[in-house]
Structure 1
Amino acid sequence: MATRKITITLPEDLVESIKERVDARGVSAYIAAAAAHQDEMDRLRELADRLEDEYGPVTDDEQQAALDRLAAIDDWHDARQSRSDEAA
């Protein structure tokens, strides 16, 4: 992937906090990962807005059904991981 050097301004305490977690060359990677994450969240919000415009808002029942499905997936994964750990 091509990269481009830019100049950004950050609060000094934030820079120091990041430097405590990574070496000098890791600062750019850390900032790039944070920017990529924010870009993904922005794109997801744009998609959600377009879907809401087209299909209407998600109802409370639909949201709860989605949360219930995610909980079931988590339970399945945890049970599978427990069986795998017991076999090891």
Structure 2
Amino acid sequence: MSRDQLVTLAQALRELGGAVPEPVPSGAREDSSFSGGRARKISVSMPEDLSAAVQQRVGRGEFSKYVTEAVAQRLESDLLAELVGLLDEEHGEVPEDLVAEAEGAWPDVE
């Protein structure tokens, strides 16, 4: 999902009454899903074995990009889950027959 799509999603959530922080101002690297701006250096603690596994997988110089993309995916997932919750509150859950119909139209999706 692009930065513009995430901003649009966040705006929709706010309009529905969700508590959504302002999107990060174009502050991530050009090569991330939040393209178009400067990067801000931060410090993050993580288990040693996890950081070693990431470093081994991505190689030298790609750690920040990997973590940035993972955080962007998690943010997207969180925002979408919040949107689903707000829409369920406002309109009720999607009926099972419609869910089954949609799943039948996309048989390869789990």
- 2:43 maps to what in 1? 7
Q: Secondary structure at the match of 2:106?
A: helix
Q: Max radius of gyration: which structure?
A: 1
Please identify which structure carries the higher helix content: 1
Q: By how many angstroms is 1:58 displaced?
A: 1.6
Q: Which segments of 5 or more consecutive residues in structure 1 lack a partner in the other structure?
A: 75-88
How many residues of Structure 1 are paired with residues of Structure 2 in the alignment? 72
Identity level (%) = 35
Moved over 4 A (4+): none
1:52 aligns to 2:88 (yes or no):
yes
Task: Find the aligned partners of 2:53 and 2:98 in 1 and give their Cα distance.
Answer: 40
- 2:77 maps to what in 1? 41
- Compute the TM-score of the two structures, normalised by the length of structure 1: 0.76
Q: By how many angstroms is 1:2 displaced?
A: 2.1
More contact order relative to length (CA 8 Å, sep ≥ 6):
2
Q: Which segments of 5 or more consecutive residues in structure 2 lack a partner in the other structure?
A: 1-36
